[in-house]
Structure formats: structure tokens, C-alpha cells
Amino acid sequence: MTFLIRTIDFTAAGREIIRDRVLDQTSLTIGRAAENDIHLPDLAVEQRHVRIELAADGNLAVTALGTLGFGLDGRTVSEGAISLSTGGEIALGAARLAVAREGEAILVTIRQVATDEGAGDALRGFALASVLPNKRAMSWLLAAAILVLLLMVPVASHLLRTPVKNDPKGETPGQVVLDAAWTTGALSLKHRSLEDNCESCHVNAFESVTDTTCLSCHADTGDHAAMPRLAKGSPPLSPGDAIQWRIGTALGKEGPLGCVSCHSEHEGQVRTAAGGEAFCSDCHDKLDTRLTDTKLANAHDFGKAHPQFRPAYFASFGAAQPVRAAPGAKPVERSGLKFPHDVHMDARGGAARMAVSLSRYGQPLECKDCHSLQADKIGFKEVKMEDSCEGCHSLVSGRSAGGGFSKLRHGDVKDLAEDLARISSGPRAPVAPRRIRPGQSGTYRADFGRPVRAYIGLSNALSAGGICTECHLPTRGPTGQADLMPVNLPDRFLTSGFFSHDAHKKEKCTDCHAADTSKAASDLLIPDLKSCRDCHLGATAVKTKTIVPSDCAMCHAYHLPSGQWQPKGSAPHYKPPPVKTTVAAIAAKAKP
């Protein structure tokens, strides 16, 4: 077996020197000692380090002769095999011995390698950092992007904007750039137009939204009560809330009675909800313990604790103002009218027969023939004599010249007096053929009646048994002349709550108002608490077919004056239109 030993050295100038020698033997020894077949003058190599010989399987067996191993194809071993077909590389100190077959011989190429100073650097390639961007650079980049875009740009544009006093219409939107990223949620439906105009509410930096800002648009919102009374009537805050408010007010927030503490915004595109039962009962449950002088009774649950209704009514004839009934009292209403509801509602009575005979009714009278709802579906329009009563209670006084009827005017005694006087002096059938007086043009006419007749007619009409007293109460005026009681009816009976008649359409009127059995107008036909509780119990009641869990806001509003809160329709606390002057008001003014 032939070993071809090829040694490759370099001169100082870098020129390659190749020396070949042939050893014809069965095995090779390699080491530092001179007697080895391959002599490697390297202190890292043992005196007799490795033997190479042909193994039985045709491969070359490489064996360490001492305790120190050697490198074989990069791996440190103490014995190994080299396949002659592929060859192998033995590492001994700085020497690399490439072993391969060349023809019939086995070529061993020896070359020295410089110690790899870059090995440590090469190992860095194993770290993932070698192929990814620097963590620190990424961190700075991300943090800077966030701080600039989401903090500095909005703050800078807020500070540099031209402040406008108040801009609810959004005429100067987008002054603050990128502050949309600061929103904590969509604005409520009514405030949606302000979505791009944060600074219209958030006026000054680090200042909570102020009541002044809210009231700059909502100027007509009424207070629930004066602020000191609200504060006195409120229950003590929980310790957590107390601490929060102490810190908040110290930093300029407007306290728990400010607008925003109840009207929290950015809760999504929803209609501002009415306060729940707890919202009201927090204060009104034991209100008398805190507001000792309050006239309001405690209330916390409509089914369990709600004071009896106190409808407003006129307690004496011709009173200037209505009074509220004492709780549980049976009020006698002094409206100045005579009106037995039972007579009018009796389906077999005279009134019913009369109505059947009239084309505009055609059937017995119903409530709605006289009472029609107002637009808010809560109160009723004023009952007008001309529309509701006169169909039966006629004021026709004679035939008019045009073939129709003339009638007495209703509403003012002075008008009535004039009308009666005209009747008395009106054209009468001629007693003789027309004749012209000499020297005069036109028809001659003379009234030979007594001048006092008209006054007797008026006096008759106004006194007991007269036409007016069918419905009105006779009285005497300041100078003793015949007169009528002014008609006084309040515009609303239940003044502090809202009762939507529209929501109760399925009920019959007489289910709640005992009109069919009421014999006199002095009956106040406003239902009591008990009749409401047939269906309405507090918010915590279980809903069934007949029971409607009812929170306070179903009937009451917070901001006063206001309309009823409704899930649809006009704003929750719109100010109701001013009440039109009514007959009652005129009469009350005319006769103080």
C-alpha cells in the first residue's frame, strides 16, 4: 500500500512550496517525534499522536495513540474512520491533513492553517440578531412614532390653534390635528356633529369640561334645584368617590353636581339614557333626613314607596291660582261649572238620545267628543263651549237676515249683553205699509218698547234658571250686577309628573277616571296612586303581562321645567312651549 505524502508550505513572500514523498507501507504514524512517518513540529501535537491504517472494511482507520484526541472532519474524536471514496480531514494542532485516494495511492496533503481569529465573530452568526434589525433601534423608532403622532402633534396643534369662544356648530373643525386618536368612544347621537371638534368641549388643556361650556348651548336647561339644596340633599359619597372628587375638585373639576358627572359622554352613538331608579332614590329615599325643610315626601320605588298624588285644582271659586291637594284628601273642585259627567255619559239618558239625533255624533257621547289630546299626548286641549257643548246647548237667538241663524256670543258677559241688546232692538215685522216721512229719506222706524227690556233679558239669562246657568254658576259682580262665576280649570292636574295618555290607549278612560258615576263637576276625577299600581310597580318588579316595571323617569324629569323623557322624539329635556292663555286665565284676570 502506497501513501503519497504531500506537504504544502509557504515562503515568507507567500510563495507555495510543495514537496511530495512516497511511503510504501501499511500504516502511517503522525506525531511530534522525529521517528514518525509524518513529523509535525507543533507543541499541540503529541509525540506519537495518531496512527492511520487500512481497516478490514476498506476504509482507513484513524486511531489516537495517546490520551489526546484529534480532529476528524471538524469533530474531536479519539478514533475514527475515513472512507476512501470521499476522503477526510484530520486536524492536529495547526496542521490539516487531507486524506483521499489518488489512483491506487492514498494521498495525504499536509498544510498549516493560520489560527482563525475571526472564529468568535463567526459564532455571532448563530444569533438571530445577525439577521434582524437592532432591538434598541426598533424600540426608539416605535416609541418616537407613538409620542410624536399621538401626543406631540395633537398637543402642539391644540396649543397653537386660534381659540374660538364656542363652536357647537363645528364651524372651525379640525383645528387640533390627530386628536381623534384620543377619543375614548363615539359621542352620543345628539353630540355627533362635534365628533371632529374635540376642542369645542375640551376648551383648555388639563381642564375638565366645565358647566359653562355645556350651558353655552344648553342655556334653557332648568335646574333640578338650587345647587346648595342639591348638595345638602345628596347622600354622602362612598369613600372611593369622595377621594376621587376631593382630588378632582382640587385639580379644578366641577364636583359631583356638575353636568359631566351625570352626563358622561363618549359612551357610543346612543341616546342619552334617563337616570335609573337608583339615580333618583339615592337622594329621594331618605330626603327628609338631610333636607329637613323639604315639602317633598320620600320616594324610592313606585310600587313600594311613592307619595300619594297631589293634583292641582281650584279649591275656591274664582281663585287666582290652583292649589295642590293634601295627600290622600278628597278634593272638591270649584271650577265654576256645572257639569254632571254621568248625565252626559249615560248611554240611555237624554244626552245620549240628543247625541244620537245629531248628525255630528250619531251615537251616545264618548269622552273624546269633548276631550282631545294635546300634541304631547299628555294633557288635553281646553274644552271649548262652541265645539263641544253648543251642539246641544244651543245659543241660537233667531234667524239672521241671510237665512241662517244668529246666536249669542259665548265667553264674555259684555258680549252677551250687547247681543241681547241687539235682539231687543232688532228689526221687527212692520206693523203698517212702508211710508216715507216728509222731509226724510229712508224707512221710518220707531221703537216704542221700554228701554229697560234688554237689561231684563240679560239679567234673566244670568240668574238661576236662565240660559247661562244651565252650565254656569250665577254670582254678583263688584257693583251688584248679575254675573257668572269665572271658569277655572288647571292646565295640568298632575304638575310634577308626566302621564302619557298615548301609552294607555288600550285602556278605557273610565278604567281610571270615574266619570260615568260622577254626578257633579266638583268631583276631581284624577286617579289615585293605587289605581296606577294595578300595573305599575317599581323598577325592580318582575315584568309580567300585567305588571310594568316602572322607573322614576317614566313619569318624572330631572331638569325642570322639561318635557317627558322619551326614547324617541324631541330632546329629553326640551323646554315645553309656553302655555297658551286659556279661558280660565282670562276669566281669572277679569275678575280678580
Partner 1 sequence: MASAAKNRFKQDEKRRDSDHVSFLKHRKFRWLWIALALSAATIAGYALIDQQPRPNGGTWYGYTLGTIGLALIVWLSLLGVRKRRINPGAWSLKAWTSAHVYLGCSLVVVGTLHTGFQIGWNVHTLAYVLMLLVIATGIYGVVVYATLPASLSANRREMTRAQMLEALTAIDRQLESAAQPLGRDEADLVIAALEQDTFHGGALARLTGRYPRCATARALRGMDSGSEAATRVTALLEKRRNQLAQIRGALRIRALLEVWLFVHIPLTIALIAALAAHVISVFYYW
> Cβ 540 to partner 1, closest distance in Å?
15
Q: Is-contact 51 62, C-beta < 8 A?
A: yes
| 122 binds partner 1, rule: CB under 8 A | yes
Q: Name the pairing type of β-strands 105-112 and 2-10.
A: parallel
* Residue 4 binds partner 1 (CB under 8 A): no
Instruction: Name every residue whose Cβ is closer than 8 Å to that of residue 20 and which is 6 or more positions away in sequence.
Output: 4, 5, 6, 7
H-state helical runs in 8-130: 119-123
- Beta bridge partners of residue 6, listed in sequence order: 20, 109
Q: Helix, strand, or coil here: 450?
A: coil
Q: Is 347 helix (H, G, I), strand (E, B) or coil?
A: coil
CB of 42 to partner 1, least distance (A): 17
Nearer CB in complex with partner 1: 120/442: 120
Which three cell numbers mark 506? Answer: 288600550
Q: Does 318 bind partner 1 (CB under 8 A)?
A: no
**Which one, of 558, 498, 537, lies nearest residue 300 by Cα?**
537
The answer to the question of residue 534 lying near partner 1 (CB under 8 A) is: no
189 near partner 1, rule: CB under 8 A:
no
Contacts with partner 1, 267-306, as mask; x by CB under 8 A = x---------------------------------------
What are the respective helix, strand and coil percentages of the chain, to the nearest 5?
30, 15, 55
Query: DSSP letters of 252-311?
Result: T---TTSHHHHS---S-S-PPPPP-HHHHHHHHTTHHHHSTT--SPP-SBTTTB-PPP--
Among 96, 229, 286, 453, binds partner 1 (CB under 8 A): 96
Q: Which stretch binds partner 1 (CB under 8 A): 30-38, 83-91, 402-410, 503-511?
A: 83-91
316 lies in the binding site for partner 1 (CB under 8 A): no
Q: What's the closest the beta carbon of residue 70 comes to partner 1, in angstroms?
A: 12
| 209 lines the binding site for partner 1 (CB under 8 A) | yes
Which of the stretches 11-19, 81-89, 331-339, 535-543 binds partner 1 when contact is defined by CB under 8 A? 81-89
Instruction: Give the residue, chosen from 39, 48, 161, 202, that forms a contact with partner 1 under the rule CB under 8 A.
Output: 202
Binding of partner 1 by 10 (CB under 8 A) = no
Q: Does 332 bind partner 1 (CB under 8 A)?
A: no
Half-sphere exposure of residue 10, counting CA atoms within 13 Å on the CB side? 7
> For residues 443 and 434, is the Cβ–Cβ distance under 8 A?
yes
Is 179 an interacting residue with respect to partner 1 (CB under 8 A)?
yes
Under the criterion CB under 8 A, does residue 130 sit at the interface with partner 1? Answer: yes
* Of the candidate residues 25, 193, 212, 264, the single one contacting partner 1 (CB under 8 A): 264
- Determine, following the binding rule CB under 8 A, whether residue 358 of this chain makes contact with partner 1: no
Cα gap 342→515, rounded to integer Å: 6
Binding of partner 1 at residue 436 (CB under 8 A)?
Answer: no
Q: Which helix (H) or strand (E) holds 313?
A: strand 312-313
119 binds partner 1 (CB under 8 A): yes
User: For partner 1, which residue of 59, 112, 157, 208 counts as binding (CB under 8 A)?
Assistant: 208
Nearer of residues 207 and 412 to partner 1, judged by Cβ: 207
The site for partner 1, by CB under 8 A, has a size of 66
Binding mask 540-559 for partner 1 (x = CB under 8 A): --------------------
- For residues 49 and 91, the answer to whether their CB atoms sit within 8 Å is no
Name which of 261 and 298 has its Cβ closer to partner 1: 261
- Contact (Cβ atoms closer than 8 angstroms) between residue 137 and residue 143: no
517 vs 514: CA distance, rounded Å: 6
CA distance 234 to 286: 10
User: In whole angstroms, how close is the CB of 225 to partner 1 at the nearest point?
Assistant: 20
Those residues whose C-beta lies under 8 Å from the C-beta of residue 414, and which sit 6 or more positions away, are: none
Within a 10 A sphere around the Cβ of 544, how many other Cβ atoms? 10
Q: Residue type for 292, please?
A: T
Residue 490 lies near partner 1 (rule: CB under 8 A): no
Which residues contribute to the site for partner 1 (CB under 8 A)? Answer: 71, 73-76, 83, 85-89, 91, 96, 98, 100, 109, 119, 122-123, 125-132, 135, 138-144, 146-147, 150-151, 154-155, 158, 179-186, 198, 202, 205-209, 238, 240-241, 243-244, 253, 262, 264, 267
